[in-house]
Structures are given as C-alpha cells and as structure tokens.
Amino acid sequence: MPFNLPILLTWLRIVAIPLLIAVYYLPAAWATPLERDLFATVLFMAAGFTDWADGYLARRWNQTSAFGAFLDPVADKLMVAAALIVLVQLGRTDAIIAMIIIGREITISALREWMAKIGASKSVAVSMLGKVKTAAQMVAIPMLLYYQPLWGMDMAQLGGGLIWVAALLTLWSMGYYLRMAWPEIARRSAEK
C-alpha cells in the first residue's frame, strides 16, 4: 500500500467519520446544540476540502495509485452516508432521502465495479450530471448540519430544499448510468 500526502488526506476523511457521529453523543455539559452543529459542519466541510485536495495533489505530484483511486470514493461515500444518517436521526431530513442517496451510491459503485471487471468501465465514467449531484449534496448537507440561520438565511429551509434537489439529481444520474450500461447488461444477459 503506497503512502503519501494525498492518501493521508483520504485516511483523515475516514477518521473524521466517527468524530462527526460522536459529536452528537457528547454530554450536554460539554457542548451546546449550536456548538455540536458548528463542529459537525466544519468537520464535514473540512472533509469535503480534503476530497478536493487529495485528488488535486495526487495528480499534480504524480502520486496517483490504484489504492488511492479505490480509497477516495469509499471515503467520500462513507462520509456522506454517515452525515445523512445523523441528519435522519436529528429529524433534519427524511429517511427516504438518505435511502435514495445511499442506495444510489451502492448501486452505481457495484455497477462500476462490474463494468470494470468486464472491461467496459468507460460506459459508466463520471458524468457532469454526477458532479452536479455531488455538488448539490455537498452544499445541502453542511446547511442541514448547521441548521441555524446564518447571515439572514434560513439554513434549515435552504438545506432542506437543496437535499431534495440532490435526491432528484441522484435518481436522474442513477438512471443515466444504468442507461449507459444497459447495452452491456442486455448483451451479457442474452448470452446466458
């Protein structure tokens, strides 16, 4: 397993996951609800920054690796899943939203793995739609973690609306990837 700064940043993102959850289990005397929300928001945003930074540095310093390419999306998906579960527990988003987003990530990850195994991974390469979906959820989740008004804006309402947009984009992007893979799926099914 290679070890370099980009991989360290990815590991830090994974280490942040239990911290994000644990902050909501701190004794009431240790942190106010606002302090918990602020810490969770900053932690999630820092994790998002490391996601950008590890990819940028790996490419810039020519430190890309198969292990890094595997670990990076796993860390991303685990962080988003953990945040969504926390938000459901806090009553700040619906379980259906979490199920759509997490279910899509599992489905598309499995599809990509299968398509790579059969040599057709280009059919399900990351699309612009997938990037827009990711951007929507990466803005909505910190808003919902913070949940308090900020600079005159209602973060709860904005985040709540944006997470629904993210869920719709999630379904749309899943349909897109499945449609791109369908010819290969149909061909393989017909061979059996």
Chain segment 78-132, per-residue pLDDT in tens: 999 999 999 999 999 999 999 999 999 999 888 888 888 887 777 677 778 888 9
189 pLDDT exceeds 80?
A: no
Q: How do residues 48-68 score in pLDDT, each as one tens digit? A: 999 888 888 888 988 888 888
Residue span of the structural domain in which 143 resides:
5-191
Closest listed residue to residue 137, CA positions, set 75, 182, 76, 179: 76
pLDDT at 117: 83
Q: What pLDDT, in 10s, does the model give residues 15-47?
A: 999 999 999 998 889 999 999 999 999 999 999
Q: Which residues are paired to 150 by β-bridges?
A: 153
Cβ atoms of 20 and 44 closer than 8 Å? yes
Q: How many domains does the chain have?
A: 1
Q: pLDDT exceeding 70 applies to what percent of the chain?
A: 98
d(CA 82, CA 43): 12
Q: Is the pLDDT of residue 148 over 70?
A: yes
pLDDT band at 192 (very low <50, low <70, confident <90, very high): low
* CATH assignment of the domain containing 112: 1.20.120.1760
